[in-house]
Structure 1
């Protein structure tokens, strides 16, 4: 299996060089690196906020953050994904006029919705803060959030354009730039505003997010102008051809609306689950205090660890949609299958060791990170099933890229409804309790993966790269056995090192063993490794040619 990576030196590329089309795995790698850096910056930002604002200020800020996400969903209505698909198709066909129409129509739609959202937010802010956010002091934070609505809407359109052009560098750099600006300005604004009151300091923290998004938008505009579309002219379009514009609008909404619908389904599902779970556990005879404790362990300890490597899936999904759209525009099913196998391979290379490490070190991870060893059985139960979650993103991206976003949405709805429906009969069983909740979630994951797989199979006659998958699974299981044996040896021989250091050493040795096994099995080759920034030239000697 062939994996290629982009050299981080391309960060220094100038003008048109940055706009060079990238391969599927190169683009995914760029976004993955950016996502990892962003996660670290977000973590640093959370530390700064927790120390300066305290729990009360953090609470005021967190109250408005869900509305920020909701506003972005309503104003973009899934258009970034639709734009990436249609731009990739138009680019493959050499149809620049259609690219112009896609961008202009998208900007008109998002601009109009942004104006409406801003109007409603400004005039309804006090009512929302008083009756829905439960604390009138959150009004300042809510008003500070409003400017991000039009800024984020335009950024979303340009992100979709760059994804469609399969040039992920601008998106990656903008993502990191946004977080750097946010982290730097958060401390400054909060310190300046905290003498006025905690509510103003929280608003300053929110406004730092707006300024970060604004810097990101400026960067996108600059990169768009220095691309080969810098001579982009609206006047060149013949708007008298209303039928063509209507067709483009229909194509945008065909993908955008199901994507938005899927987001709403996810939101509703997340809102309903706590209610159904607590009621079900109460029916099983679980005390209120224990329900709260078990639900907290599942959602606060177990699920964050399970989803920790999730940015890999997000990066793959973002790059795979336009890549599949391009191949679909050329009616090249062989290329679609090859790119899907590439994405599945990368997802499993990350997912298999993550799943195995969570399983074999469940007790140690829960003890060291959360001081909650009682949550370890829950992690061991759910981790193996969530390996399938790594397959969902590539499969769903193929459906969206081929124009079947509605099918993907229906699959997601069926899976989420099944999960919610099964929680009550399983969790209310006294012999299962909270484990019944996990089983319901896992059945939903299995069902969604199966539905996506058969939908893709029907469209493309897709064939899994079984030999490579077997090699990855074999390397992962061998890694688990060797790594765990080494961990036990250290724990017995050198207990004075401490649990945390022994755990980190065991995980590090496990990962090294896994990479070496992938090299020996020729899943990863030397020419793939040498292209990894910073450490590639050091590690490549360990891998066969």
Structure 2
């Protein structure tokens, strides 16, 4: 029964993983025409405000929905689930109102802090998307809490398709009509608002038929352990806030970059125009990191209700095995993605953005994929047993490192310095979480040296094959265009992926149980046996 539940949860994770992958691919793809059409400075304008959008989408997609799903999973009856969803909606509406009013009121001051007053209309535009956060967070959280991942997946893809279509249309229009970069950025950000409206309409039936519908006479069922708005509000602040912070960890580090990188470059003697262009080049790393993280974060967040159930039933053995499986899978995927990207980065940079500028900074930055994947998994484990203090302290310690050292590093080392401090901040968070975790959990979070050795062998083999095949193909076809380069990159990626999987199977990187919990893992094992 436990294996079946875990398999169902893993299948749900794969559904969200696939949807997230589609959304993140779209999120990466639209930046290619955007950057090519509007240039590094136009890309800088958009990316300066993107972290605010990123925080909003995190709250509405992978932050508060995860916490709401946990609340829903804790309830025993359908009426309790509906009542807790209603209260969550009221609390989130209050949070949303505060954010919208704050961003609209203080947009000039925020833009001034970023060193560019022209960003004010972009901030005001993107603030409107927070109006729809309560609908999206509660709708997605409700379905995830009853282990129905398809509605969340559909809404996520729908939202990104609409947003990307608007952004590409705006970029084309801006280039053809010679708009200034700030007008382009404002209209591009409007895509986030329209997309939020469309996604909200998808959940309208749920709210009309269930969340806002009159309850039957037995609605007086107790809501224990959450019996009041004050208690639920406290849980939203501590538990929900912690989930949101860690779900948005990369975005928050990028927000600090928005206030420090361009200003730090100017302080080092770079002209204002060149500083904007360099910040645009530095921001090329963001879509790559998003793509690398999508699988690992989908696993860690989707399994939170399952881990909570295991704790409630005091099944320590099953809990430990689940944690170990998630650590193995998340770490393996993130390491493979990072090693692959670093090996191919000069070609990926040229393929996506037309040149290899900023390659060294991006190479450093993508190491964040491994650290952020581990942090997400650690946080899910701590959340599942209602331990928050170590995660919160670790988070603010790492954020403090970024705040204190980022501008200094940028002034001395340029955009490479910003990448280094990002990686350092994440490493500090991970170490602090490990040290601060309760002794009862430290054993669950350990990875033995044999797994590391096997992972190094698999990823190292992949790196050798990717590098060798890349050199051979580029040697056979020198001076290729971007289309031909894209074909080469795809071929090399496929070859590298097959190599990693083959070596992983050969050295038994995953246990049979871990393979079996992965959808289609059983079929793969049968083919291997044959």
Residue 469 (structure 1) shift: 4.2
Q: 2:87 maps to what in 1? A: 105
- Paired with 2:68 and 2:103, the residues of 1 have a C-alpha distance of 27
Pick aligned residue for 1:361 from 344, 349, 354: 344
CA contact (8 A) 1:63 1:138 kept: no
Q: Report the TM-score, using the length of structure 2 for normalisation.
A: 0.75
Q: 1:405 maps to what in 2? A: 388
| SS of residue paired to 1:411 | helix
- Paired with 1:102 and 1:371, the residues of 2 have a C-alpha distance of 50
Stretch of structure 1 that moved more, 63-72 or 27-36: 63-72
Max Rg structure: 1
CA contact (8 A) 2:339 2:459 kept: yes
CA contact (8 A) 1:388 1:445 kept: yes
Pick aligned residue for 1:305 from 288, 311, 315: 288
User: 1:129-183: per-residue Cα shift (whole Å, max 9, x none)?
Assistant: 99998459948x946963x444321221122222222321211112123334455
Q: Report the TM-score, using the length of structure 1 for normalisation.
A: 0.73
CA contact (8 A) 1:76 1:156 kept: yes
Q: 1:80 maps to what in 2? A: 65
- Paired with 2:377 and 2:479, the residues of 1 have a C-alpha distance of 45
| SS of residue paired to 2:429 | helix
Q: 1:256 maps to what in 2? A: 240
Q: 2:306 maps to what in 1? A: 323
CA contact (8 A) 1:166 1:323 kept: no
Pick aligned residue for 1:157 from 118, 138, 146: 138
Q: 2:424 maps to what in 1? A: 443
Residue 30 (structure 1) shift: 0.9
Pick aligned residue for 2:497 from 507, 511, 523: 511
| SS of residue paired to 1:403 | coil
Q: 2:317 maps to what in 1? A: 334
Q: How does 1:264-303 map to 2 (within 5 A)?
A: 270-273=254-257, 287-288=269-270, 292=275, 296=279, 299-303=282-286
Q: Does 1:464 align with 2:449?
A: no
Give the 3 Å change call, closer, same or farther, for CA 3–305 of structure 1 in structure 2.
farther
User: 1:454-496: per-residue Cα shift (whole Å, max 9, x none)?
Assistant: 3446242315353444323311111222332333334445548
Give the 3 Å change call, closer, same or farther, for CA 496–470 of structure 1 in structure 2.
same
- Paired with 2:345 and 2:46, the residues of 1 have a C-alpha distance of 32
Q: How does 1:177-192 map to 2 (within 5 A)?
A: 177-182=158-163
- Paired with 2:49 and 2:36, the residues of 1 have a C-alpha distance of 20
| SS of residue paired to 2:283 | helix
Q: Does 1:393 align with 2:376?
A: yes
- Paired with 1:317 and 1:310, the residues of 2 have a C-alpha distance of 11
Give the 3 Å change call, closer, same or farther, for CA 372–43 of structure 1 in structure 2.
closer
In the alignment, structure 2 segments of 5+ residues that lack a partner are none
Residue 523 (structure 1) shift: 4.2
Give the 3 Å change call, closer, same or farther, for CA 272–356 of structure 1 in structure 2.
closer
| SS of residue paired to 1:167 | coil
- Paired with 2:110 and 2:371, the residues of 1 have a C-alpha distance of 40
| SS of residue paired to 2:493 | helix
Give the 3 Å change call, closer, same or farther, for CA 344–180 of structure 1 in structure 2.
same
Pick aligned residue for 1:35 from 20, 28, 47: 20
CA RMSD of aligned residues (A): 5.2
In the alignment, structure 1 segments of 5+ residues that lack a partner are 5-19
CA contact (8 A) 2:365 2:419 kept: yes
Pick aligned residue for 2:220 from 238, 243, 253: 238
- Paired with 2:84 and 2:23, the residues of 1 have a C-alpha distance of 29
Q: 1:175 maps to what in 2? A: 156
- Paired with 2:364 and 2:183, the residues of 1 have a C-alpha distance of 44
- Paired with 1:289 and 1:414, the residues of 2 have a C-alpha distance of 33
Q: 1:16 maps to what in 2? A: none
Stretch of structure 1 that moved more, 388-397 or 263-272: 263-272
| SS of residue paired to 1:35 | helix
User: 1:179-228: per-residue Cα shift (whole Å, max 9, x none)?
Assistant: 34455677899999999x9999987765554443334334334467889x
| SS of residue paired to 2:220 | coil
CA contact (8 A) 2:339 2:463 kept: yes
- Paired with 1:293 and 1:188, the residues of 2 have a C-alpha distance of 23
CA contact (8 A) 1:362 1:376 kept: yes
Q: 2:470 maps to what in 1? A: 487
Residue 27 (structure 1) shift: 2.0
- Paired with 1:464 and 1:514, the residues of 2 have a C-alpha distance of 23
